C-alpha cells in the first residue's frame, strides 16, 4: 500500500520561496486583521455594506486564478517545505493561529509561543477547547518528528485543568517514550504567566505505507 498522498518537488530557489513567504504572508496577515475587525467592529451598517462590496471585489480579483482545490504540501529541491494551507501553521491560511513551532531535535521536544484572540473564543473571554486541541495536536506532532519518530495522530487525550484566557499563551510537548511503531508524547498549554491550564498525552503512529517503505529500503520501523 502506497502513501495516500503525494508530495511535489518544485524547482524553486530559496530566494523565490522567501519572496512568496513575504508576499503571501503579508496578505494573510492583512486578512487575519480583517477577520478580527469583522467580528469586533462597531461601525454603522452603511459602512459595513460598503466594506462588504469592496471585499467582494478584492475576492473576485484573487479568484481569477486559483489552484483546483486544497494547497497540499510540496518541497523544493533544496528541502524547503511549502505547507502553506495547514490549519495551524499555514502562512497562507488566514484561519491558522498562526503558530511558529520551535523543534529541539536533540531532546525530542517542540514549543511555541502565540496569541489567541477573539476569533478563538469559546466561553466568554476564554479559549475554545477545540482550539486548544488543534494547537496541541500540531505541537505534539512536531515533537514526535523532532524526536525522530514522525507519525499520524492515533489518540490525543486532553485534561482541561483550568480555563485559558484569550491572549498570550504557550505550548510545549516532548517525547515520553516509544513502543514499536507508536510514539507517546506528553505536553501542556500555559497561560501568559506560565500557569498550566491543559495537560495532554498523545499517541502518534507511523502509518503502514511508511513502514512498508522503510522495510523495502532495508530499515526497521
The residue-averaged pLDDT of 38-59 equals 98
Q: Between 209 and 117, whose confidence is greater? A: 117
The residue-averaged pLDDT of 132-154 equals 94
Residue 149 is predicted with a pLDDT of 86
Burial group, residue 142, by CB count within 10 angstroms (0-12, 13-18, 19+): buried
- Mind listing the pLDDT tens digit for each residue in 7-37? 788 999 999 999 999 999 999 999 999 999 9
Residue 131 is predicted with a pLDDT of 98
Contact 156, 137 (CB under 8 A): yes
Quickly state the pLDDT bin for 150 (edges 50, 70, 90): confident
The whole model's pTM is what? 0.90
Quickly state the pLDDT bin for 200 (edges 50, 70, 90): very high
Which residue, 117, 157, 120, 116, is CA-closest to 137? 157
Residue 211 is predicted with a pLDDT of 60
Amino acid at each position: 500500500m502506497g502513501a495516500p498522498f503525494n508530495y511535489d518537488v518544485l524547482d524553486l530557489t530559496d530566494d523565490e520561496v522567501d519572496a512568496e513567504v513575504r508576499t503571501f504572508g503579508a496578505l494573510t496577515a492583512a486578512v487575519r486583521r480583517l477577520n478580527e475587525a469583522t467580528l469586533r467592529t462597531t461601525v454603522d451598517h452603511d459602512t459595513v455594506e460598503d466594506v462588504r462590496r469592496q471585499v467582494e471585489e478584492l475576492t473576485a480579483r484573487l479568484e481569477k486564478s486559483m489552484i483546483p482545490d486544497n494547497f497540499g504540501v510540496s518541497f523544493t529541491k533544496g528541502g524547503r517545505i511549502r505547507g502553506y494551507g495547514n490549519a495551524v501553521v499555514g502562512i497562507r491560511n488566514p484561519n491558522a493561529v498562526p503558530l511558529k513551532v520551535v523543534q529541539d531535535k536533540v531532546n525530542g521536544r517542540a514549543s511555541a509561543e502565540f496569541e489567541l484572540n477573539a476569533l478563538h473564543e469559546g466561553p466568554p473571554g476564554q479559549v475554545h477547547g477545540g482550539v486548544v486541541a488543534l494547537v496541541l495536536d500540531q505541537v505534539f506532532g512536531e515533537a514526535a518528528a523532532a524526536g525522530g519518530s514522525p507519525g499520524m495522530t492515533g489518540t490525543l487525550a486532553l485534561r482541561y485543568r483550568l480555563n485559558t484566557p484569550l491572549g498570550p499563551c504557550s505550548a510545549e510537548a516532548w517525547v515520553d517514550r516509544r513502543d514499536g511503531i507508536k510514539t507517546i508524547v506528553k505536553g501542556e498549554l500555559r497561560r501568559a504567566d506560565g500557569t498550566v491550564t491543559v495537560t495532554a498525552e498523545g499517541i502518534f503512529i507511523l502509518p503502514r505505507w511508511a513502514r512498508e517503505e522503510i522495510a523495502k529500503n532495508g530499515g526497521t520501523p
